[in-house]
Chain A
Amino acid sequence: MDGVGPDESDDAGADPPLTVEALADLQAGLLDDDTAARMRKQVRGDPDARQTMDALNRVRRDIANLGADAESAPDVAPEVVDGIAAALHAEQPGRSQRGAAHTVRPGRLPRPTRAAVGLAGLVGLAAAAVAAWLGTAALISPPAPTPSRPTTAEHITVSRPPMTIPLSDQQILALLDDKPDFGPLADPQRRTSCLAGLGYPADARILGARPVQIAGHPAVLLVFPGDTPGTATALAVAPNCSSVDTGLLADRLVHRP
């Protein structure tokens, strides 16, 4: 065979040599149609060339499989992961003071604290259904800025005194026996918007509710089922709580008897 490469002009009747590089060029779509057709015909009649094509195809499959294989992914230095997580925290407005509470602990990968996860109630078994609903809502609702809301009293420390729910656990649990008093959130549409802002679906079960005052600020206390059996999550939100900004003032995880 002559030394004409696959991407040069061919003399009439000259077949390109079936080198690994030429076959890789064929596979990658680098050859003109005529050259490619001639080469494919050659490959069909050449067992070694077919094996080389198989090898090249195996490479492509292996690369694709690598992308899908989580188990083989190398470990990442904890400080790298922590750094990125800390940066994600810092991105959220009004939350940077909270970020330090559960991020960088050198040498281990941190996780959100139990109290913090308790607020969401979405990172749990019930989350899937809620998240699916929220996913749909996120597509059809107008985009809303991420609300600026601290989750625990200790984290709201920038320029205000700490906020706490002015009810004992027993008083909060007593609300479960009373008819909910939503106060400023009596309007179902407003309440739905508030629930969306908190991450709950419109038909989320509210175990109890009443207006409260927190450090002189009017608020509405909403009590939801907690993320684990036997618990309840109490959230004190602003009277104008909406999907845009819940104005969350304080929260507490309460254990039910």
Chain B
Amino acid sequence: MLAAHVAGDPYAFEELFYRHHRQLHRVARLTTRSAEDAEDALQEAMASAHRGARSFRQDAAVSSWLHRIVVNACLDRLRRNKTHPTTALDDVYPVADRTAQVETAIAVHRALMRLPVEQRAAVVAVDMHGYSVADTAAMLGVAEGTVKSRCARARARLASILGYLETGAAPNRPAG
């Protein structure tokens, strides 16, 4: 379908967006300060992807490619707007037929949204999208050690929020 878009089919890219929009919006929300920023970044990213479809390499899945463009746009926005305030979570989850896997995913998403956006963006880039620490640092305009530190703080906090530490608390100091 992306190839169809590249060849000039005016609807193929729009169809791609519709197919992936929920996941793309989620990753945008996870890596931006507010819902408004997420929407703006997603629109920028999709426009960029739309224009750059000819550079798409067939050795990557379209979904991964779109996610990467969205993450790049969001991290760049964070780098540019370091002082803007962060707003709280306000998401709508599918209600019907929640499997255990979906419940876990929702819990993880909500836990991520409780983190400061700097920690959240770092851990989403590294752990969700497999970005290297070096690439994440470059996109955020910070040192690699800063990314590592943010990831460490994020993971420790998430482990606490999600209750994963309740049976395995470290002996010398409480978690969190």
Contact = CB atoms under 8 A, between A and B. Distances in A.
Q: Do A and B come from one complex?
A: yes
Interface of A: 1, 17-25, 27-30, 46, 48-52, 54-56, 58-60, 62-67, 69-77, 80-81, 83-85, 87-89, 91-92, 95, 98, 109, 111-112, 116-117, 120, 122-123, 127, 130-139, 143-144, 146-147, 149, 151, 196-199, 243, 246
Given A138-B7, A199-B9, A59 B105 contact: no
B8 A19 contact: no
- Highest count of chain A CB atoms <10 Å: which of B12, B27, B133, B153: B12
8 tightest A-B CB contacts, nearest first = A51-B168, A72-B105, A73-B22, A55-B164, A134-B3, A67-B128, A28-B152, A135-B3
Interface string B88-120: 000111100001011011101100100000000
B4 interface: yes
Interface of B: 1-4, 6-15, 17-18, 21-23, 25-27, 29, 39, 42-43, 46-47, 50-51, 54, 56-58, 67, 91-94, 99, 101-102, 104-106, 108-109, 112, 123-124, 127-130, 133, 145, 148-149, 151-153, 155-156, 158-160, 162, 164-165, 167-173, 175-176
Contacts of B15: 111-112, 123
Contact of B8 (A20, A52, A64, A149): A149
A1 B171 CA distance: 11
B128 A63 contact: yes
Of A17, A25, A50, A147, most buried by chain B (CB within 10 Å of CB) is: A25
Given A88-B14, A134-B7, A56 B159 contact: yes
Contacts of A63: 108, 112, 123-124, 127-128, 158
A120 B8 CA distance: 9
Which DSSP category, helix, strand, loop or mixed, fits chain A's interface? helix
19 contacts: A20-B159, A20-B176, A25-B148, A29-B133, A52-B168, A60-B127, A62-B105, A64-B127, A64-B130, A74-B93, A75-B22, A81-B21, A84-B43, A85-B17, A85-B18, A88-B14, A127-B4, A147-B8, A149-B8
